[in-house]
Amino acid sequence: MNIILVGFMGSGKTTIARILSQRHNMRFLDTDKLIEKKERLTISEIFDKKGERYFRELERQVIDNEISFCDNCVIATGGGMPCFFDNMEKLKERGWVVFLNLPFEEILKRVKDNDKRPLFKDRQKAYQLYKERLNCYKRAHFTIEVTDSKEGVAKKIEELVFLQ
C-alpha cells in the first residue's frame, strides 16, 4: 500500500511524506527530487532549458517507471503532476491519494522569496493556476485541510488511510 500526497506547491507534501514514512517505516519518494537526480538539473533549470512540456513528460515517466513498482511508499508529488495526462487516475491505481488543501494566502506566506518554484514567479498567474488545479486535486481519494501542525496533518492522514 502506498500513500501519495498531492496539492499545490508549498502545501507541505514533502514534509508530511517524510513524517509518515518515518513513523511507519515506509520508503519516502519525492518525485521532483527523482527528476532532478535523473536530469542532473533543478526543476527551475529544467523549465528554463527544456520547457514545461518536457518536465511533464518526465513526471509521467516517474509514475510509469518508479511509482508503478513502489510498494509501502509515501510519495510526495510535484504540484502539477496529478493534473496532466491521465496521471491522477494512474496515481489512484497505485495507492491512496491524499490532497493537502491549503488556502492560497497560506501558500503565499510559505513560498514568498523562494526562487526554486518556477511557476510562482508571477503571483497572479500562480493564483490562477491554483484555482485551475483545485478541481484536479479534489479527485483524490481524500482531502485533508492543512490547518493543524505537521504532526496533526500526518495523524489525520493516518486515521483515514490506515482504516481502509
pTM, two decimals, is 0.95
Do the domain assignments include residue 164?
A: no
Task: Print the domain residue range for 130.
Answer: 3-159
Q: What confidence tens digit (pLDDT) does each residue in 62-73 have? A: 999 999 999 999
Coil, strand, or helix at residue 70? Answer: coil
Residue with cell 514545461: 52
Do the domain assignments include residue 40?
A: yes
CATH number at 152 reads: 3.40.50.300
Domain count for the chain: 1
Do the domain assignments include residue 19?
A: yes
DSSP state of 78: P
Do the domain assignments include residue 70?
A: yes
C-alpha distance from residue 20 to each of 58, 75, 93, 153 (Å): 25, 10, 20, 10
Q: What confidence tens digit (pLDDT) does each residue in 77-112 have? A: 999 999 999 999 999 999 999 999 999 999 988 887
Cα 59 to Cα 31: distance, rounded to the nearest angstrom: 7
One pLDDT digit (tens) per residue for the chain, 164 residues? 999 999 999 999 999 999 999 999 999 999 999 999 999 999 989 999 999 999 999 999 999 999 999 999 999 999 999 999 999 999 999 999 999 999 999 998 888 766 666 567 788 988 999 999 999 999 999 999 998 899 999 999 999 998 77
C-alpha distance from residue 65 to each of 35, 39, 68, 86, 92 (Å): 12, 15, 6, 15, 16
Do the domain assignments include residue 58?
A: yes
Do the domain assignments include residue 77?
A: yes
DSSP per-residue letters across 140-154: SSEEEE--S-HHHHH
